[in-house]
Amino acid sequence: SDAIDIKKGLAGVYADTTKISKVMEETNSLTYRGYPVQELAALCKFEEVAYLIWHGELPMREQLMHFERQEREHRWIGDDLIEVMRKFRKTAHPMDTLRTAVSFLGVQDPETEDNSPKANLEKSIKMMARIPTIVAADYRLRNGKEPIKPDPKLGFAENFFHMCFGEVPAPEVVKCFDVSLTLYAEHSFNASTFTSRVIASTTSDIYSAVVGGIGALKGPLHGGANEAVMHMMLEVDDPKKAEAWLLGNIADKRLVMGFGHRVYKHGDSRVPTMKKAFLEMAKIKNGQKWVEMYEILERTMLAKKNIHPNLDFPTGPAYYLMGFDIPMFTPIFVMSRITGWTAHVMEQNEDNKLIRPLAAYDGSAQRKVLPVAER
């Protein structure tokens, strides 16, 4: 295998083309279907972004109304799934319960095996509509409370707060949450999206591809980082301890969660927009302590390691200030990334080739099998 050039972690490898999003490391920028994410976050709600990711164009007013009606209609998950969820171990991680619940949706949907673009788009909208209901119902059941039914009069982000807490917060809070959904929606061939595409490439079904995506996103090197960031901040506890804590971590060669990125080496395109939303949340919720800690950790990490924060660094404390349980942070990421994953599955299906790379063998040399009595 000496002569073989191995791209460990597939770093730097172009595995296919995509029309969905473009990550530009040179300029720290990201576009969905050609539109800069910071402009989408400022001017559109998440429903418009979801439509854009799937259809390639921003919706006209009537198209948006139709799309929103569809999303609102499909929110309820049915009593059968609620009954299944009641049996989940109360301390199971919400990413595991969500993975199982989405798998159950696939079991119950008579269209699961229909891989036509039309059927897959419908299933994608249904998953977008139902995943928040699962996440909120799971949160309530875990805490000994009854699930709250979705309210079709509320927008996507508002309805999620309603199903979690029984009330909708101030519009500024809803907007910060909505901005995070827009920023999490899509990011080219990241690990979970690539997982979904690998599954789609076998011509398996879209639910299987999403379930695989959820499994990949759970890990703290990927989506699980937003939870890990908040655990880390709670461990630091006091901004005065932040610098010493970080220097200790660096000395021990421990990873600092929410920093670094495989593609962005000079800053994550999404961070400035999300940092602004986090600062807004801190102002509303009196979270100055977390802002101070954020600034110290960011500054020290840059000075000592020249490593920038990634999107999970501001979303962690922002979700905490919104009142969400830490184990819900990565499931919230799923509520958004479901759009990117399913768009990629449909794109893979359009021009499919089985994804099947090679491995350079470096195990034992070939040898003879001996029967058990002679070994």
Give, as ranges, the residues between 289 and 348 that touch ligand CMC (CB under 6 A). Answer: 305, 307, 310-312
What minimum distance in Å lies between the beta carbon of 334 and ligand CMC?
A: 11
**Alpha carbon distance 190, 186 (integer Å):** 9
Q: What is the DSSP letter of 266?
A: S
Judged on CB neighbours under 10 Å (0-12, 13-18, 19+), 203 is exposed
> Tell me, what amino acid is at 21?
S
**20, 41, 257, 274: residue in contact with ligand CMC (rule CB under 6 A):** 257
| β-strand partners of 322 | none
Cβ proximity to ligand CMC: between 84 and 307 the closer is 307
User: Which of 255, 272, 283, 323 contacts ligand CMC by CB under 6 A?
Assistant: 255
Catalytic residue among 109, 138, 205, 312: 312
Instruction: Determine the Cα angle at 106 with ends 161 and 90, to 5°.
Output: 50
Contact between 58 and ligand CMC by CB under 6 A: the answer reads: no
> What is the closest distance, in whole angstroms, from the C-beta atom of residue 11 to ligand CMC in the complex?
6
What's at 251, amino acid-wise? A
Task: Give the one residue of 94, 132, 169, 260 binding ligand CMC; rule: CB under 6 A.
Answer: 260
Is residue 227 within the footprint of ligand CMC (CB under 6 A)? no
The residues, ordered by sequence, that sit 6+ positions from 211 with a Cβ below 8 Å of its Cβ are: 99, 102, 103, 106
261 is catalytic: yes
Stretch that binds ligand CMC, among 164-172, 174-182, 215-223, 339-347 (CB under 6 A): 215-223
Query: Would you count residue 225 as binding ligand CMC (CB under 6 A)?
Result: yes
Q: What CA–CA distance (Å, rounded) separates 300 from 308?
A: 10
Question: Using the rule CB under 6 A, is 261 a contact of ligand CMC?
Answer: yes
Closest approach of Cβ 186 to ligand CMC, in Å? 12
Contacts 24+ apart (CB under 8 A), 3-10: 4/360, 6/360, 9/262, 10/194, 10/357
**Which range, of 204-212, 233-241, 258-266, 278-286, touches ligand CMC by CB under 6 A?**
258-266
Interface with ligand CMC, residue 258, by CB under 6 A: yes
Residue with CB nearest ligand CMC? 260
Q: In whole angstroms, how close is the CB of 332 to ligand CMC at the nearest point?
A: 12
Identify whether 312 is a catalytic site residue.
yes
Q: Cα–Cα distance between 311 and 270 in angstroms, integer?
A: 6
Smallest distance from the beta carbon of 311 to ligand CMC, in angstroms?
5
Q: Does the footprint of ligand CMC cover residue 196 (CB under 6 A)?
A: no
Question: Cα separation of 187 and 368, whole Å?
Answer: 48
Residues that bind ligand CMC (rule: CB under 6 A) add up to a total of: 19
Helix (H, G, I), strand (E, B) or coil at 88: coil
Catalytic residue among 162, 261, 308, 344: 261
In three state form, how does the secondary structure of 222-253 look?
A: CCCHHHHHHHHHHHHCCHHHHHHHHHHHHHCC
Which residues are catalytically annotated? 261, 312
Residues that bind ligand CMC (CB under 6 A): 9, 190, 221-223, 225, 255-262, 305, 307, 310-312
